[in-house]
Chains A and B, each alone.
Chain A
């Protein structure tokens, strides 16, 4: 079964602290993984995708096929990073996205 698991509902850190939002997936085949973010009163938007291997707003995520994980990391959290983060998996050859339940990141000043 295809599934995305985000074990933490809430992650609270202080500004400047490192952040790691966990994501594990279950998928037979080559997955394509994404992180979506929803800031307060804004719509869901793509943050980054593993294929592009880019850093967006200081966030990076590495696909670890051995551990079936795609954790989102940032070395120094900023207050403006406070948002809801969703990890998502795309089935090959479809546009269907399978989302995790999300993790709320709170960054305190």
Chain B
């Protein structure tokens, strides 16, 4: 199992453009979360997808949207790119089979996609 995979590795875009980042979860995982990590900062939660629906969302504008497919893979879309969107975008997946709703299932992180907006 390759674990969580993300594509592409690096991406360069210009302001105003749109970008799509992709994530394949670890085998057996059904939940995907996306994080933005700006330089010198810790990861910031963008949103989480479960059963093809956005379940939780962090403090990010509507320019950030996502999708989850029936095979649990996910996409992160960012419209109208700003210079401040330059960051490492991390995908994390967590397993199915929750013992109880309030329990935490460990999130396994991918290597990230480095987005540069010029």
List the A residue with the shortest CB-CB distance to B42. A99
Known: A95-B33, A95-B56. A44 touches B43 (CB 8 A): yes
Does the CB pair B101–A93 fall under 8 Å? yes
CB atoms of B111 and A96 under 8 A apart: no
Q: A75 CA to B102 CA in the complex, in Å?
A: 33
Contact in complex: B109, A44 (CB < 8 Å): yes
Which A residues are in CB contact (< 8 Å) with B3? 43
Chain B residues with a Cβ closer than 8 Å to the other chain, count: 27
Q: Are A94 and B109 in contact (CB under 8 A)?
A: no
Closest approach, in angstroms, between the C-beta of A38 and any C-beta of chain B? 9
Known contacts A86-B42, A95-B31, A44 near B90 by CB under 8 Å: yes
Chain A residues, CB < 8 A from B4: 43
Q: A43-B111, A44-B90, A45-B109 are in contact. Are A92 and B40 (CB under 8 A)?
A: no
Q: Is the CB of B110 within 8 A of A101?
A: no
How many chain A residues touch B (CB < 8 A): the figure is 23
The closest CB in chain A to the CB of B43 belongs to A99
B contact residues around A46 at 8 Å (CB): 106-107
Interface residues of A in 75-109 (CB under 8 A from B): 86, 88, 90, 92-102
Q: How far is the CA of A98 from the CA of B108 in the complex (A)?
A: 15
Question: Is A32 at the interface (CB under 8 A from chain B)?
Answer: yes
Top 3 nearest A-B pairs (CB, nearest first) are A99-B42, A44-B109, A96-B45
Contact string against A for B residues 33-52, beta-carbon threshold 8 Å, 1 for contact and 0 otherwise: 10100001111110010000
* Complexed CA–CA distance, A62 and B48 (Å): 29
Considering the complex, which residues of chain B in the window 75-110 have a beta carbon less than 8 Å from any beta carbon of chain A?
Answer: 90, 94, 101-102, 104-110
Q: In this assembly, does B58 line the interface, its C-beta being within 8 Å of a C-beta of chain A?
A: yes
Minimum Cβ distance to chain B for residue A51 (Å): 8
